[in-house]
Amino acid sequence: MTPENRAAYWKANVRLLVILLFIWFVVSYGLGIILVEPLNSVQIGGYPLGFWFAQQGSIYVFLVLIFVYASSMNRLDKKFDVHE
Amino acid sequence: MSNLDIWTYAVVGSTFALYIGIAIWARAGTTGEFYVAGKGVHPVANGMATAADWMSAASFISMAGLIAFNGYGASVFLMGWTGGYVLLALLLAPYLRKFGKFTVPEFIGDRYYSQTARIVAVICLILASITYVIGQMKGIGVAFSRFLETSYDMGLYIGMGIVAIYAVLGGMKGITYTQIAQYVVLILAYTIPAIFISLTLTGIPVPQIGLGANYLPSDGSLTLLGKLDQVVTDLGFKEYTTQVMGSSLNMFVYTLSLMIGTAGLPHVIIRFFTVPKVADARYSAGWALVFIAILYTTAPAVGAMARLNFMDTIQVGPVGAEDGNLLYADRPEWFKKWETTGLLAWEDKNDDGRIQYYDDANPEFAEKAESFGWKGNEMVNVDRDIMVLANPEIAGLPNWVIALVVAGGLAAALSTAAGLLLAISSAISHDLLKGVFVPTISEKSELWAGRISMLLAIIVAGYLGLNPPGFAAGTVAIAFGLAASSIFPVLMMGIFMKKMNKAGAIAGMLAGITVTLLYVFQHKGIFFVPGTSFLMPELGMGPDWFFGISPNAFGAVGALVNFIVAFIVGGITAAPPDNIQHLVEDVRVPRGAGEATGH
């Protein structure tokens, strides 16, 4: 693997991380803590929305994030021919 | 013996027989098997075992109780202990798997080309893990004291004995298969009562939906959460869906501390060394979180419904009405049984023979209470850690369900205690003895040294568990803070910053764990020994003096200190040698990952 390839692979990896971690931050700290009060004025399925993000929604999003990461990385590994 | 006792002995006994049977069947023969179960553990199986390893007495026994009494504020545990898996999967697991060593200190020692770094990592790891085991001991003590109807202390001693037999017998391989069995027991034990109670209160069998649904017993016009808000505020307590823990800032920092602590705890990280490939390490974290999320999304329903049922048991009629409060003589059977453990206590302050349970720290309501002739909150002890175990009894569920919950709580506590003890023993026997002090040690002596260090750890944790620094989940949160402030930053920098060097890493770890320990000990006593706390209000150091951040949440601050100190020290000292920089580049690429090895 050439150094340029290696650098490009790593850059693509870090880019993916930044996007996913941004979402991770927004659903938990953003919607679940910082914005919880305004969101609570909206009701969803009997839950105040901010409360729902803090106790249910963020967990579902975390799950999706990890599986998206794992499958995107597998694709990236193949593209750069670094898979096992 | 009552019908419930027979059920409890039968269910707990048969689950224990199952775990011990598996442990003996899969007994570890070589050091490799003892630590990482060889290769070939499938990601789904590994995820399930990780989930059992991860969900301890804090998750199973303690967390829903804290949710019940802290409402929205307890969201820190829900988000913190699940969101950490995102960090683990994205920032650590695949790289550590590629690196291919047995233990976390081994990675730190190799990456920072320094035995000193390895020793410092071992010390941090032991401090965090022992604190974690104290939390488990509290949970085990509560479960055994109720199950055997004895005092909390006695329950704790019995629990120590069982953990000792159990953990010393098998290594990782035994533990991996046993933990799959334990996951099945604990998840059934958690969800079955939740489904029953959700059906009773809302008619909906899925607790995650039931929590938001309409509350049936009150003509169906109120949601369950709305009803709960009303019931608790009527008695002067804070509104369930909006009460915060400390402040929003404290909740933010608390959540962060638990998340990065999750990604810094050795007994979880070690799990990702056991999968065959780097790609599997990524998926394993996801599968672990699937199995964890089943419990974590159920817990808010368990907490809220337990609180509602608990309040309704005591406040049987309108607030302030003469017969609105339960007569002590009429208290249910479960109430009496928990009284014998000392974890539930009542005191008749106004001599009316009835139980008044309200928030007497709320001045507005205290005034009202006085007009009713109430002389203070009479439930002088309601240990949060009893709520999950008491929940099915409070709801009047069948005896076999109650027995199952006891077995589930013990499964959760035992599986985690065993995983942690393994991390402690491998740190001592593998990293300290074989790695640093006695490199010539034979495999057999290494195994024995590991077993002896496990026993010592159980004794220390059991002793400190007699006076735990908080409820099980709170104690465990401190352990996360210690891991967050020491291990996580150096692991992350070791992968993402090629130029981070040994001086930076060592200084960072020491600075991070020191400030965290100081803040925790200042509040909770030196090594949690009662009476040794050293808050200095006269110097402006009252409780939670640092921006209102509680000691349990302080790990995130420690981690920040760790990063900053490492940057500064690393910046002014020599860059790591070329071979280390190449090592980091190699770790970043999946191809070429061999089996985990030790040296």
Per residue in B290-327, pLDDT (tens digit) is 999 999 999 999 999 999 999 999 999 999 888 899 99
Rounded CA-CA distance A62/A65 in Å is 5
Cβ distance of A33 and B289 shorter than 8 Å: no
Residue A39 located in a structural domain: yes
Q: How far apart are CA B592 and CA B277, in angstroms?
A: 10
User: Tokens representing B303?
Assistant: 């907490």
**Cβ contact B79–A59 (<8 Å):** yes
In this prediction, residues B266-284 reach a mean pLDDT of 83
**B205 & B144 share domain:** yes
Range of the domain at B398: 3-309+392-587
- Residue A70 C-alpha, separation from nearest chain B C-alpha, in angstroms: 5
User: Measured between beta carbons, which residues in chain B are less than 8 angstroms from residue A51?
Assistant: 72, 75, 225, 241-242
pLDDT above 90: residue B34: no
Q: Report the 10 Å Cβ neighbour count for B480.
A: 32
| Structural domain range at position A14 | 3-79
Within 10 angstroms of residue B331's Cβ, the number of other Cβ atoms is 16
Give DSSP secondary structure letters for A34-74: ITHHHHHTSEETTEEHHHHIIIIIHHHHHHHHHHHHHHHHH
Total domains, chain B: 2
Both tokens of residue B383? 């240990």
Chain A environment of B588 (Cβ under 8 Å): 6, 9-10, 13
Measured between CA atoms, the residue of chain A closest to residue B587 is A10
pLDDT at B39: 53
Listing DSSP states for B571-590 in one string gives HHSPPPPHHHHHHHHHHTS-
pLDDT at B35 over 70: no
- Cα four-point dihedral sign B549, B554, B70, B351: negative
A69, closest residue in chain B (CA to CA):
B90
- Structural domain includes residue A40: yes
- What pTM was estimated for this model as a whole? 0.92
- B377 and B500 co-located in one domain: no
Q: Are residues B566 and B455 in the same domain?
A: yes
A75 neighbourhood in chain B, CB within 8 Å: none
Using CA atoms, how far apart are residues B127 and B117, in angstroms rounded to an integer? Answer: 16
B46/B93 same-domain check: yes
Eight-state DSSP code of residue B179: H
pLDDT in tens, chain A (84 residues): 788 889 999 999 999 999 999 999 999 999 999 999 999 999 988 999 999 999 999 999 999 999 999 999 999 999 999 888
Whether B597 maps to a domain, the answer reads: no
Are B298 and B328 part of one and the same domain? no
Distances (CA, A) of B381 to B21, B271, B338, B471: 39, 39, 11, 13
Decide: B304 and B460 in contact? Cβ < 8 Å: no
More confident of the two residues A9 and B140: A9
Q: Are residues B239 and B343 in the same domain?
A: no
Per the CB < 8 Å rule, is A84 touching B278?
yes
The reply to whether A51 falls in a domain is yes
SS (HEC) of B432-447: HHHHHHCCCCCHHHHH
Cβ of A13 within 8 Å of Cβ of B588? The answer is yes
CB-CB neighbors (< 8 A) of B90 in chain A: 17, 20-21, 65-66, 69
E strand map for B340-403: 344-346, 379-382
Q: Is residue B596 part of a domain?
A: no
Q: Which of A32, A52, A82 sits opposite B590 (nearest CB)?
A: A82
> Across-strand partners of A47?
A44
Asked, for residue A35, whether it belongs to a domain, the answer is yes
Q: What is the mean pLDDT of residues B505-521?
A: 96
Contact A56 B208 (CB under 8 A): yes
3-state secondary structure B11-44: HHHHHHHHHHHHHHHCCCCCHHHHHHCCCCCCHH
- The residue of B90, B209, B225, B278 whose CB has the most chain A CBs within 10 angstroms, and thus the best one to mutate to test that interface, is B90
Q: Is B12 inside a domain boundary?
A: yes
- The model's pLDDT over B250-261, given as tens digits with 9 standing for 90+, comes to 999 999 999 999
On the question of pLDDT at B584 being above 90, the answer is yes
- Distance from the Cα of A74 to chain B's closest Cα (Å) equals 7
B223 with A46: Cβ contact below 8 A: yes
Chains A, B: CB contacts within 8 A come to 135
Are B256 and B327 in the same domain?
A: no
Instruction: Decide if A59 and B241 are in contact by the 8 Å CB cutoff.
Output: no
Cβ(B557)–Cβ(B62) below 8 Å: no
pLDDT at residue B27, rounded to an integer? 62
Q: Closest Cα partner for B529 from B459, B460, B455?
A: B460
Beta-carbon contacts of residue B279 (< 8 Å; ≥ 6 apart): A70, A73, A74, A77, A83, A84, B94, B590
B542 close to B535: Cβ distance less than 8 angstroms: yes
Closest by Cα among B461, B60, B450, B508 to B264? B508
Q: Does any domain span residue A84? A: no
Task: Name chain B contacts of A17, Cβ cutoff 8 Å.
Answer: 90-91
Would B201 be classed as within a structural domain?
yes
Residue in the block written with tokens 């496990």: B454
Give how far A36 is from chain B: nearest CA, Å.
9
Please say which residue of B391, B415, B447 terminates a domain. B391
B14 within some domain: yes
DSSP 3-state assignment of B217? coil
Mutate to test the interface with B, among A22, A28, A39, A77 (most CBs of B within 10 A): A28
The pLDDT of residue B38 is above 70: no
Would you call B255 and A28 a contact, using CB atoms and an 8 Å cutoff? Answer: yes
Query: Is residue B428 pLDDT above 80, yes or no?
Result: yes
C-alpha torsion sign, points B104, B105, B107, B111:
positive
Q: Which residue type is seen at A55?
A: Q
- Cα torsion A20, A21, A26, A27 to 10°: value is 70
Number of Cβ within a 10 Å radius of residue B582: 11
B381: phi then psi, degrees, rounded to nearest 5: -140, 120
Distance to chain B for A22, nearest Cα, Å: 11
A-chain residues near B221 (CB < 8 A): none
Per-residue pLDDT, B270: 81
Residues of B in contact with A34 (CB under 8 A): 248, 252
Q: Which of A55, A73, A75, A83 would you mutate first to test chain B, the one with the most B CBs within 10 A?
A: A55
The answer on B385 and B445 residing in a single domain is: no
ipTM value greater than 0.90: yes
Judged by CB atoms closer than 8 Å, whether chains meet at A24 and B588 is answered as no
Which residues on neighbouring strands pair with residue A44, listed in sequence order? Answer: A47
What does the pLDDT average to over B498-527? 95
CA distance B81 to A28: 12
pLDDT digits (tens, 9 = 90+) for B216-248: 887 768 999 999 999 999 999 999 999 999 999
Q: What is the pLDDT of residue B28?
A: 53
In this prediction, residues B518-545 reach a mean pLDDT of: 88
Per-residue pLDDT, averaged over B465-488, amounts to 90
**B338: CB partners within 8 A, 6+ apart:** B146, B344, B386, B390
Identify the CATH number of the domain in which residue B26 sits: 1.20.1730.10
- What does the alpha-carbon distance between residue B148 and residue B406 come to, in Å, rounded to a whole number? 11
Q: Is the pLDDT of residue B29 over 80?
A: no
pLDDT at B30: 54
The whole-angstrom distance between A6's CA and the closest CA on chain B is 8
* Residue B387 structure tokens: 């709520």
Query: CA of B62 to nearest chain A CA: how many angstroms apart?
Result: 16
**Are the beta carbons of A46 and B224 separated by less than 8 Å?**
yes
Indicate whether B168 pLDDT > 90: no
**pLDDT(B155) > 70:** yes
Same domain, B409 and B363: no
* Same domain (yes/no): B346, B492: no
Task: Give the confidence band of B412 by pLDDT, cuts at 50, 70, 90.
Answer: confident
pLDDT at B275 (0 to 100): 77
Q: Are residues B382 and B487 in the same domain?
A: no
CA distance B80 to A29: 10
A62 CB neighbours in chain B (<8 A) are 82-83, 85-86, 289, 293
The CA distance from B292 to B304, in Å, is: 19
Range ranked top by mean pLDDT from B28-37, B94-103, B513-522: B513-522
Residue pair B80/B255 in contact (Cβ under 8 Å)? The answer is yes
Last residue of a domain, one of B360, B391, B422: B391
| Residue B31: predicted pLDDT | 56
Whether A43 maps to a domain, the answer reads yes
Q: What are phi and psi of B243, to 5 degrees?
A: -65, 135
Cα–Cα distance between B302 and B295 in angstroms, integer? 10
Beta carbons of A33 and B255 less than 8 Å apart: yes
What pLDDT score does B416 carry?
Answer: 82
Which of B79, B216, B242, B582 is the best substitution to test chain A (most A C-beta atoms within 10 A)? B79
Residue B353 included in any domain: yes
Residue A49 with chain B: CB contacts under 8 Å: none
- Please name the residue of chain A whose CA is at the shortest distance from the CA of residue B496: A14
- Yes or no: say if B74 and B63 are a contact pair by the CB < 8 Å rule: yes
Last residue of a domain, one of B356, B391, B426: B391
Total structural domains within chain A: 1
- Kindly state whether residue B39 falls inside one of the protein's structural domains: yes
Better-scored residue on pLDDT, B515 or B178: B515
**Chain B residues within an 8 Å CB radius of A36:** 72, 248
B145-174: average pLDDT: 78
Which residues in chain A touch residue B238, judged by CB atoms under 8 angstroms apart?
A: none
pLDDT for the residue numbered B174: 57
Please name the residues in contact with B370: beta carbons below 8 A apart, sequence gap of 6 or more. Answer: none
Contacts of B208 in chain A (CB under 8 A): 56
In a domain, B598, yes or no: no
Q: How far is A75 from chain B (nearest CA, A)?
A: 11
CA distance, residue A43 to nearest chain B CA (Å): 10
Check residue B304 and give its pLDDT: 97
pLDDT the model gives residue B89: 93
Q: Do residue B270 and residue B121 come from a single domain?
A: yes
Please write the tens of the pLDDT for every residue from B386-408.
999 999 998 889 989 989 998 99
